[in-house]
Structure 1
Amino acid sequence: METTIPKRVFTFLKQLEKNNDRDWFNEHKPEFKAIEKEVKAFNKEVFELLNKHDQIDKLKQFRIYRDVRFSKNKQPYKTHFGCSFNRVKPNLRGGYYIHIQPNNESFIATGFWDPNKEDLLRIRKEFEIDDQEMRDILKEKTFSNIWGDFKGDSLKTAPKGFDKEHPAIDLIRRKQYIFIKQFTDDQVLSKHFIDEVDTAFKAIRPFFDYMSDVLTTDLNGVSILND
């Protein structure tokens, strides 16, 4: 029997959205704990599937509690479940994310959400030298059918030290290198959802292999990792 996301996960999250306060949540905490356990079982199954074709060292299911200290939104609880999967560093770069939220707002994501300034500069320098391999990855039929093009933020102009007329400026201007695939509620509740997630994550590998190679070498292609 394949692991699935039960319908009551969405039912609970919809109720929480309407009753986002501590009294309601504490009253329904046993129900939440049971649902959280089911979502975690799904994510653990994804973890096992990923490790059949990648090397994942950590699964992190994010807590339902929101940090409201520096947020204008003072609602105490998230209305979704989120989970990340970290690849084994330093050789492998990139990560996977699953977001379960009702009203057709679920999605999976991969890539580089917040690269540090050293990694970002290294990626941009690679595109400045040669962007063809990245273009070929993006154009590959299976990849593009599943993931489409990059999502995320870009600068409005060229980063400091880069030519705004460079042919690869669309790639160089990016601040994030992420891909997002949306799912409807019916798709998430389907018995095929876990296979669709795994298939999509498997398809991202050419991008991860490329970026891992870039981020573990200098501009001459020499490894920067300690043996």
Structure 2
Amino acid sequence: MSFYKLYDFLRDLDKNNSKEWMDENRKRYHEVRDWYISWLNEMDAKLAQVDKDYYATPGKKAINRINNNLMFHPEKPTYKDHFGAGLDKAPDTGDFYIHLGLNESFIAGGFYRPSSKILTSIRDAIDYNGEEFKKIINKKSFKDMFGGLMEDDMLKTSPKGFSQDHQHIELLRHKSFAVSHPVTQKEVQQEDFQERVISVYKEMLPFRRYLNKAITV
């Protein structure tokens, strides 16, 4: 089994996105899923060696459901066009997420569109010591790997309680505090992909630690 077969399965599923097709190909789906879970188990063990505070997350717990939530998004197809998995999944902490999809594959982390309570805590931390956060995200190796913070649905003005001329106003306008590192299907299928994931994890660690600390203070 390999990532090639995982993408191959997703291509076929994309062309036949129905419960009928999935029922006929259930065995194939479980073979792909089980293989990916065992790969995630290996990744879990390797990341635990990299980070003393790593939160052990077995592959079965890490992997996301392939079914779309049609109750809230009835317009979506029955199944997703990707396999998603979150490692280092301690409760109430920022994500470390691996997304392997047909249209895009990436490794991401932080807080994507968090609750207003979490967002307030992060903004308070930036208000208190935004210079430390800027040092992390302006580091050359960080910028090379992630480009910068995701600019997702930013505020046009200042958030409540902060002035327009706040020294960190550009950061405070963010509604998501997340970063993403794109990978191609070809890169995912290379033998050193686990090493790639580890290097992204390491580069992201100070960023995620800052945010996790922000929401516990």
Q: CA deviation at 1:209?
A: 2.6
Aligned to 2:24: 27
Which structure's residues are more often helix, by fraction?
2
What is the CA distance between 1:208 and its match in structure 2? 2.2
The one-letter amino acid paired with 1:115 is P
- Report the secondary structure of 1:56's partner residue: coil
Deviations 1:39-96 (A, max 9, x none): 1112111111111123113342111122212214242111210111244457xx3220
Farther-moved stretch of structure 1 (55-64 vs 93-102): 55-64
SS at match of 2:200: helix
Structure 1 regions of 5+ residues with no counterpart? 218-227
In structure 2, what is the equivalent of residue 112 of structure 1? 111
Counterpart in the other structure of 1:141: 140
Q: Distance in 1 between matches of 2:6 and 2:147?
A: 29
Match of residue 157 from structure 2: 157
Does structure 2 retain, via aligned residues, the 8 Å contact 1:5–1:42? no
SS at match of 2:50: coil
Unpaired runs of 5+ residues, structure 2, are none
Deviation at 1:215, TM superposition (A): 2.8
Q: Specify which of 40, 43, 49 is matched with residue 46 of structure 1.
A: 43
Tell whether the 8 Å contact from 1:114 to 1:176 is kept in structure 2 after alignment.
yes
- What residue in structure 1 maps to residue 122 of structure 2? 123
Identify if the C-alpha distance between structure 1 residues 202 and 119 changes in structure 2 by more than 3 Å, giving closer, same or farther: same
Contact preservation (8 Å) 1:100, 1:107: yes
Identity percentage of aligned residues? 30
- 1:220 counterpart residue number: none
More displaced 10-residue stretch of structure 1: 93-102 or 171-180: 93-102
Q: Distance in 2 between matches of 1:163 and 1:187?
A: 44
Cα RMSD of the aligned pairs, angstroms, is: 1.9
Ranges of 4+ aligned residues in structure 1 off by more than 3 Å: 86-90
TM-score by length of 1: 0.85
Between structure 1 and structure 2, the one with the greater Rg is 1
Q: What secondary structure, in the 3-state scheme, does the structure 2 residue paired with 1:52 have?
A: helix
Give the structure, 1 or 2, with the largest relative contact order (CA under 8 Å, sep 6 or more): 1
